Structure 1
Amino acid sequence: MASARLRPVFLLLLIILLARAATKPLRCRSGVGSKKRLLLISFDGFRWDYDQDVDTPNLDRLARDGVKAKYITPPMLTMTSPSHFTTITGRWVEDHEVVHNMMFNTQTNQKVPHKDTLRRSEWWDNGVLPLWITAQNQGLKTASFYYPGGGANYSGQAVNRAVVEESGHPDDNETEWRQNIDTVLSWFSKEDFDLVTLYYGEPDNVGHARGPDHPDRKAIIRQIDRTVGYLRDAIGLHGLNATLNVIITSDHGMTTVKKRPLVDEIVLNKYLNLLKMASFEILDYGGFGILTPRPGKEQEVLEALAKAPHLTVYRKDDMPESFHLARSGRLPPVVIIADLGFNLNSRFIVYVNKGDHGFHNGEMDMKMIFRAFGPDFKKNFLSEPFDSVHIYPLMCRLLNIWAEPNNGSLEHTADMLITSHGGPRTSPMIITTTVVFVFMSTLIA
């Protein structure tokens, strides 16, 4: 009888416990001896093999002192904004919906250039939380320096500190690169930040303007190598060697653009009248194109584009599952992917880039780098290739926080860590619910 009278009391207490578990930020410290910090650095357009034809003593030393992946694979799309947001969310593009560098609206024909999107929350905030916000919700302090998506709000919540790159800002100033390193390291050492993301716009710009085989590309890789050496020294000067883990990666690779007179370039208006057949398009943007046919014209558009050389045209709903794009609500109905090195020109050949990306992520020229070092990483460890979506659960493990639902898996990166930090993480809500279920079953019995 006494136990029966106590059941409502126990039930009330457990409901309170459930509510606290669901709302209170928690940080699991299992297997971690001291607080660790994380710096994620992205060098835009750093192809996986760019350090193989250049003398890079600092990157070579970093590989000996830490982890190097043979290469990693970006998501489809191999563009700056979609790929960076996959890294910081652990979600495929069809889930996070940042489906292009340009912000666009197919109904109004609005098109906003990449750098002008960086503060436009309506482009980035689609219900998927980036790592900055997830970490902040669990009591950590985060910052973004130029990293795509860092300047947006997510359900009204902003990154603790964000420096957003202005349109037209030069990307290749080596002195400024070092100043930016000093700034973010001071955030760790003097202001107790836990996570900072740092973005550099090279070697992407040089790759576009000169091509991946040009001597200027090799010069910028040497500059990156010097910057990595400066970073290593600065970490020691700030007293962060024992607590700061660093991941260096990229968003996509780069390939040489095939141009006349060597090849016939793609001019899509030769195969269909774009003015009459399409109500929206983004085509003069490298190897990836999107198009909304006018009502009743979709099949005609698909059949016409199928006759064009050096490309593959897809109805969005019929794209391969491996693209992880078909479920996107933002992408228009028709998606065009050019063969490697061919740009999609709409009406005229106006494209001037010597190098580009946006092509199929299975192409080796689209693969990119991954390096990591710090107290939690093994030394002189060569990792097998993996998809960039798997970086997110690795970062959550390094920060010792609960991950949001994601498409990555720690299985692909766990071997590069000195210790696994315990088993797979389970949400505190799930743990508490399980305890309640077991306890209530006992009471009922």
Structure 2
Amino acid sequence: MKTELFVLVAALVCTASKPLSKAAQRNKLLLVSFDGFRWDYDQDVETPHMDQLLQDGVKAKYMTPPMLTMTSPSHFTTITGRWVEDHEVVHNMMFNAKTNQKVPHKQTLTRSEWWDNGVQPLWITAQNQGLKTASFYYPGGGANYSGKAVNRVIVEESGHPDDNETEWRENIDKVMSWFSEEDFHLVTLYYGEPDNVGHAKGPDHPDRKTIVRQIDRTIGYLREAIGHHRLNDSLNVIITSDQGMTTVKKRPQVDEIVLNKYLNLLKLASFEILDYGGFGILTPRPGKEQEVFDALSNVPNLTVYKKDELPESFRLAKSERLPPIVVVADLGFNLNSRFIVYVNKGDHGYHSGEMDMKTIFRAFGPDFRRNFLSEPFDSIHVYPLMCKVLQIKPAPHNGSLSVTEEMLLLHGGGSQRSQLSVALLLSMMLFMFTEL
């Protein structure tokens, strides 16, 4: 009798733990990015919905962006799993150091020649394996990759307001309908706040706290919308950002950096982007490389590097697109080439090791553990995690699933429902053998 019961229960356990067909068990994924959300922005503001995410899902203590801590480079690292030196989106501005071409950030969003450098983003990898994907304002989503476009794309236009809460909710409603009515598998959704407020007012301004409260309400609305569209059992959500924000140091507290005081840029440089936060690039005129380097070495509150001597941890030295001279200002010091015209009260672009540059990571859904606090990790590791959740084979990448797989139920080995079924049947088996 015991033998027959054992065979019966063992068969039931195998059935419960057996993976469903790929079409039936593949869950969907929404990646949401709130630009410029520093890792601690929720610590001085009441954020009940973000707090609930820790109870219902996963929170990392913080996440470290790549060098460069800028919107386009960092977002593209997340969606490709590649370091900046590999994907070559080395600045927010599209530029050509030979022709002096410079294209503002939002105008680059549909310029495939800036984004398509041989690295395959997650949208295209997923589509090549039969999934439907969409990009809603996410940097890089509006480009073509080897002639392939994302299935559905909405690109944010220049001048479009980023802080309209009603529109934020409408965007969520659109995305939920894509999942529930059109069977999209992956959607990336981007919001331009709290980055804009951080730049304009500074990270310590009350308006930053106001926009964080708005973000928290939006997360609450997102969770309601997921339930309304009956996606609770099939949609995983990752909420993250590209970098943090720090207060810009200004007169009279400090002397601002004006690089033309230390070298004649017109005479010594053929190309420069030196008025863009804490990170600058420069191409010296032929034969002037050492003179430029020596002059910049004398500038206080700034570190100058020859590209081929950049620290390995920067993951920038192998870039073919990056000019030969790179400068990184100390935290909070903005770069000015010739005149002090910089108006931002907050900025980024500084060393990714600075705590003010760290950002957030939250995740919840059927494949994620609940009430799990993760140790910090680099954003490069989000890509293999997303591939695991989508059950697709990753393209070549620099991340490692071993860094993030503890966030997943049974390390991604099955759904919560199947795990509970196995546990229940094992308990039944133990009970029956005890009774016998």
Q: Same fold (TM over 0.5)?
A: yes
2:15 aligns to what?
Answer: none
1:63 Cα deviation from its structure 2 partner: 1.2
Q: Give 1:62 deviation, angstroms.
A: 1.1
User: Does 1:226 pair with 2:193?
Assistant: no
- Residue from 285, 293, 309 that aligns with 1:318: 309
- Taking the TM superposition and a 5 Å limit, the aligned residue runs for 1:286-325 are 286-325=277-316
Contact 2:278/2:329, CA 8 A, preserved across alignment: yes
TM-score, scaled relative to structure 1: 0.88
- 8 Å contact kept, 2:367–2:412: no
Which residue, 125, 141, 144 being the options, matches 2:132?
A: 141
Structure 2 residue corresponding to 1:411, chosen from 385, 402, 407: 402
- 1:76 Cα deviation after fit: 0.1
Q: Secondary structure at the match of 1:123?
A: helix
| Structure 1 residue identity aligned to 2:156 | E
- Report the AA paired with residue 201 of structure 1: G
Structure 1 residue 371: deviation in Å?
A: 0.3
Residue in 2 that maps onto 1:150: 141
Runs of 4+ in 1 over 3 A off after TM superposition: 28-33
Specify the SS of the correspondent of 1:419: helix
Classify the secondary structure of the residue corresponding to 1:420: helix
* Whole-angstrom CA distance in 2 between matches of 1:52 and 1:214: 14
Preserved CA contact (<8 Å) 2:282 2:325: yes
Q: 1:44 aligns with which of 32, 35, 52?
A: 35
1:433 match: none
The aligned counterpart of 2:427 is none
Shift of 1:29: 7.8
Of 389, 404, 421, which residue of structure 2 is paired with 1:398? 389
**What is the aligned partner in structure 1 of residue 76 from structure 2?**
85
Match of 2:249 in 1: 258
Q: Counterpart of 1:276? A: 267
Report the counterpart of residue 55 of structure 2 in structure 1: 64
1:16 corresponding residue in structure 2: none
Preserved contact between residue 284 and residue 345 of structure 1 (Cα < 8 Å): yes
What is the CA-CA distance between 1:232 and the residue it aligns to? 0.4
Q: In 2 relative to 1, CA 105–330 (structure 1 residues): closer, same or farther, beyond 3 Å?
A: same
Change (3 A) 1:71 1:29: farther
Provide the secondary structure at the position in 1 that maps to 2:326.
Answer: strand
| Correspondence list, 1:192-203, <5 A | 192-203=183-194
Which of 377, 383, 391 is 1:386 aligned to? 377
Shift of 1:421: 3.5
Instruction: Tell me by how many angstroms 1:35 deviates.
Output: 2.1
After superposition, residues 146-225 of structure 1 pair within 5 angstroms as 146-225=137-216
**What residue in structure 1 maps to residue 358 of structure 2?**
367
Q: How far apart are the structure 2 equivalents of 1:31 and 1:191?
A: 18
CA distance in 2, matches of 1:410, 1:278: 43
CA distance in 2, matches of 1:361, 1:29: 42
- 1:21: which partner in 2? none
Spell out, residue by residue over 1:4-53, the C-alpha distance to the aligned partner (whole angstroms, 9 max, x if none). Answer: xxxxxxxxxxxxxxxxxxxxxxxx98999612000000000000000000
- TM-aligned CA deviation for residue 85 of structure 1: 0.1
TM (norm. structure 2) is: 0.90
Residue of structure 1 equivalent to 2:106: 115
- Write the deviation string for residues 52-77 of structure 1: whole angstroms up to 9, x where unpaired: 00000000011110000000000000
Unaligned stretches of 5+ residues in structure 2 = 1-18, 415-436
Look up the SS of the partner of 1:351 in the other structure. coil
**For 1:152-183, what per-residue CA distance to the aligned partner results, in whole angstroms no more than 9, with x for missing partners?**
00000000000000000000000000000000
1:11 counterpart residue number: none
In 2 relative to 1, CA 89–283 (structure 1 residues): closer, same or farther, beyond 3 Å? Answer: same
Q: Does structure 2 retain, via aligned residues, the 8 Å contact 1:376–1:418?
A: yes
CA contact (8 A) 2:405 2:412 kept: no
Tell me the secondary structure at the aligned position of residue 235 of structure 1.
helix
C-alpha separation between the residues in 1 aligned to 2:167 and 2:403?
Answer: 35
CA distance, structure 1, for counterparts of residue 329 and residue 242 of structure 2: 19
Percent of aligned pairs with the same amino acid: 80
Q: Is the 8 A contact 2:244 2:358 kept in 1?
A: yes
Alpha-carbon distance between aligned partners in 2 of 1:236 and 1:34, rounded to the nearest angstrom: 19
- Equivalenced residues, count: 396
Change (3 A) 1:309 1:30: farther
For 2:24 and 2:111, locate their aligned partners in 1 and report how far apart those are by CA, in whole Å: 40
1:285 to 273, 276, 292: 276
Contact kept in structure 2, 1:45 and 1:204, CA below 8 Å: yes
Q: How does 1:348-363 map to 2 (within 5 A)?
A: 348-363=339-354
Q: Deviations over 1:195-240 (max 9, x none)?
A: 0000000000000000000000000000000000000000000000
Of 106, 114, 126, the residue aligned with 2:117 is: 126
Equivalent AA in structure 2 for residue 147 of structure 1: Y
- What runs of 5+ residues in structure 1 fail to find an aligned partner? 1-27, 424-445
Residue in 2 aligned with 1:440? none
Helix, strand or coil for the counterpart of 1:350? coil
Counterpart in the other structure of 1:248: 239
Equivalent pair of 1:383/1:416 in contact (CA under 8 Å)? yes
CA shift digits 1:325-365 (9 cap, x unpaired): 00000000000000000001000101000000000000000
Contact 1:289-1:335 at 8 Å conserved across structures: yes
SS at match of 2:73: helix
Asked if 1 retains the 8 angstrom alpha-carbon contact of 2:62 and 2:375, the reply is yes
Distance in 1, Cα, partners of 2:397 & 2:98: 30
Residues 36, 399 of structure 1: 8 Å contact kept: yes
- Structure 2 residue aligned with 1:331: 322
**Aligned partners of 1:112 and 1:57: how far apart in 2?**
40
